[in-house]
């Protein structure tokens, strides 16, 4: 009898409860639509750095490297939007809209990483060095004080795609050639082109270049041929390769492999030529543990001999997916001309924790 009464009361409740309103249906629809189309990710990197020069005072500090929040939205199957904010610098670093009619042809408008060099578009969450970039890539992608744009990003229009089942990747860009989040100072656009070829799986050849102009935001000890406010030619080239022992996904905790990446890079800013070369590797040795190493040479001004070589070796332990612990030692060897600007040769000890979601 109790069971019958319970069943009857349940049916009565279902039949007598008020129907969902239009507002409730709309809320459920939009909640489901947002959840299926919007993806929120982010990461933070913090650690400890001790700098020990051969002569002079040593320094050490706990430091926050980055704190980044990213929002990606699949507006429709063809339209995609992306936003990236960096909380340490308080900059909106990336914001763009893409039209993706096919894998072979895509158009991006907005601000994002420029596609000069193989390394610049790679996320700091997977690069081997805590630095994180090689000297040449960091310098030629905006780290030069004249350009005043250390993020390696710019505003403009990009066309890119993959051909022949992903064996060929191409990029064509037209960008401002200046500091991020600002208007073009000289009304001259920089043109960037990249071609990457995979002749065999897990091996990639890359060549990229840039032709254009930049307006100096300050003076620089590295290049006295250009003064603040001057518009000068800013040309670049890069060529390199990347090899992986196997294909990898986004889970660097469980799906890791041996990697080797190397590039030569050069540029001309006004009358100043620069040249660099680096090689970086990551070698899994046990479960989530990798050995990492990098040899990194850069001549910031070939006429003045502003040369620096960084030799790095270290370990990284992947805790979970893109979460890791890192410890590295770097010896920085400078020419006499470079010592006059950056100081004596020095040892650098770095540790870092990276948390990503």
Q: What is the pLDDT along the chain (357 residues), one digit of tens a residue?
A: 443 333 444 443 444 445 566 777 767 777 777 777 899 999 999 999 999 999 999 999 999 999 999 999 999 999 999 999 999 988 899 999 999 999 999 999 999 999 999 999 999 999 999 988 899 999 999 899 999 877 899 999 999 999 999 999 999 999 999 888 888 989 999 999 999 999 998 999 999 999 999 999 999 999 999 999 999 999 999 999 999 998 766 567 677 899 999 999 999 999 999 999 999 999 999 989 999 999 999 999 999 999 999 999 999 999 988 899 999 999 999 999 999 999 999 999 999 999 999
The answer to the question of residue 303 being in a domain is: yes
- DSSP per-residue codes, 134-157: -HHHHIIIIISTTT--TT-EEEEE
Q: What pLDDT is recorded for position 8?
A: 42
Check: CB of residue 120 under 8 Å from CB of residue 133: yes
Strands 38-53 and 59-74: antiparallel
The answer to the question of residue 86 being in a domain is: yes
Q: Residue 355 to residues 45, 67, 125, 229, 325: CA-CA distances in angstroms?
A: 7, 10, 9, 40, 9
| Angle, CA of 97, 186 and 151, to the nearest 5° | 50
Q: What pLDDT is recorded for position 250?
A: 55
The total domain count for the chain is 1
The answer to the question of residue 77 being in a domain is: yes
Judged on CB neighbours under 10 Å (0-12, 13-18, 19+), 71 is middle
Tokens of 188: 């001259």
Q: Residue 293 to residues 117, 156, 246, 279, 330: CA-CA distances in angstroms?
A: 20, 34, 19, 8, 9
- The residue range of the domain holding 150 is 69-356
Q: What pLDDT is recorded for position 249?
A: 60
Q: Residue 73 to residues 78, 119, 147, 249, 250: CA-CA distances in angstroms?
A: 11, 25, 31, 21, 19
Q: What pLDDT is recorded for position 182?
A: 87
The answer to the question of residue 55 being in a domain is: no
Q: What pLDDT is recorded for position 13?
A: 44
The answer to the question of residue 58 being in a domain is: no
Dihedral in degrees, nearest 10, Cα atoms 109, 115, 119, 123? 0
Cα(250)–Cα(255) distance, integer angstroms: 8
Judged on CB neighbours under 10 Å (0-12, 13-18, 19+), 62 is exposed
**Which one-letter DSSP state was computed for residue 217?**
S
Write the CATH number for 185. 2.40.160.10
Q: What pLDDT is recorded for position 142?
A: 87
The answer to the question of residue 56 being in a domain is: no
The answer to the question of residue 280 being in a domain is: yes
Q: Which residues pair with 316 in a beta bridge?
A: 290, 326
The answer to the question of residue 222 being in a domain is: yes
Q: What pLDDT is recorded for position 20?
A: 62
Q: Residue 10 to residues 1, 2, 14, 20: CA-CA distances in angstroms?
A: 14, 12, 6, 18
Tokens of 62: 């706990």
Cis bond leading into 353, ω under 30°?
Answer: no
């Amino acid at each position: 009898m109790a069971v019958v009464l319970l069943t009857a009361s349940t049916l009565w409740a279902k039949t007598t409860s008020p129907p969902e309103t239009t507002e409730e249906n709309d809320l459920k629809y939009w909640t489901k639509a947002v959840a299926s189309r919007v993806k929120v990710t982010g990461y933070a990197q913090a650690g400890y750095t001790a700098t020990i020069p051969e002569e002079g005072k040593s320094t050490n500090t706990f430091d926050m490297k980055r704190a980044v929040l990213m929002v990606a939205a699949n507006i429709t199957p063809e339209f995609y939007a992306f936003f990236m904010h960096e909380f340490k610098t308080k900059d909106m670093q990336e914001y763009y809209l893409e039209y993706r009619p096919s894998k072979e042809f895509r158009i991006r408008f907005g601000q994002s990483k420029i596609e000069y060099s193989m390394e610049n578009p790679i996320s700091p969450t997977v690069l081997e060095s805590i630095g994180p970039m090689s000297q040449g890539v960091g310098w030629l992608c905006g780290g030069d004080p004249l350009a005043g744009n250390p993020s390696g990003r710019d505003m403009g229009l990009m066309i890119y795609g993959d051909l022949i089942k992903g064996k060929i990747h191409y990029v064509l860009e037209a960008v401002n050639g200046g500091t991020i989040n600002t208007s073009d100072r000289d009304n001259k656009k920089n043109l960037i082109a990249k071609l990457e070829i995979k002749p065999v799986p897990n091996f990639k050849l890359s060549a990229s270049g840039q032709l254009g102009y930049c307006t100096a935001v300050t003076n620089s000890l590295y290049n006295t041929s250009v003064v603040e406010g001057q518009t000068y030619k800013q040309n670049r080239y890069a060529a390199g390769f990347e090899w992986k022992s196997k294909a990898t996904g986004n889970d660097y905790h469980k799906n890791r492999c041996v990697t080797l990446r190397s590039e030569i890079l050069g540029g001309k800013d006004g009358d100043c030529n620069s040249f660099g070369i680096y090689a970086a590797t990551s070698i899994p040795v046990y479960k989530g543990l990798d050995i990492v190493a990098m040899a990194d040479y850069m001549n910031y001004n070939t006429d003045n001999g502003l040369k620096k070589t960084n030799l790095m070796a270290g370990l990284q332990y992947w805790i979970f997916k893109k979460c890791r612990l890192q410890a590295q030692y770097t010896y920085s060897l400078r020419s006499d001309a470079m010592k006059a600007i950056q100081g004596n040769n020095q040892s650098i000890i770095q540790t870092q924790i990276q948390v990503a979601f």
